[in-house]
Amino acid sequence: MLHRASKVRGFHILATDGEIGHVDDFLFEEGSWALRYLVVDTSNWIGGNSVLIASAMIESIDAPGEVIRVRMTRDQVERSPSMASVDIELIETLPSVWVL
């Protein structure tokens, strides 16, 4: 089944041993546009870090319940790479500017 990215943003992420945060963004592979990582906001759990969870770790998606289950423990998620560790084109990291 297909889901729009805007619909999935905000879904809760459940590790094998508890909740870890929610989907904040997505990282796609250049060229193929394959989903590479979920960017997960863990601010309610480990103090505001955004960690990357590989799409291969997704076990299931419960769209009506807005939950994504991953095949990782909370400890594994905590040791996952952060957003600061990835090579993202600078223009994509800058805030939007509105000219009125």
The domain that contains 63 carries what CATH number? 2.30.30.240
Q: How far is CA 90 from CA 35, 84, 95, in A?
A: 20, 12, 10
Q: What is the DSSP string of 51-90?
A: EEEEGGGEEEEETTTTEEEES--HHHHHTSPBGGGS---H
How many domains does the chain fold into?
A: 1
- Written as six digits, the tokens of 57 are 């770790």
Banded pLDDT at 99 (limits 50, 70, 90): low
Please check whether residue 98 lies inside any domain of the structure: no
Residue pointed to by tokens 């299931």: 60
99 is a domain residue: no
Residue 31 DSSP symbol: T
Convert the pLDDT of each residue in 40-81 to its tens digit: 998 877 666 889 999 999 999 999 999 999 999 999 998 898
Q: Is residue 100 in some structural domain?
A: no
Residue 11 lies in a domain: yes
Residue 35 in tokens? 């989903």
Residue 14 has pLDDT above 70, yes or no: yes
pTM tops 0.85, yes or no: no
Which domain range does residue 71 map to? 5-93
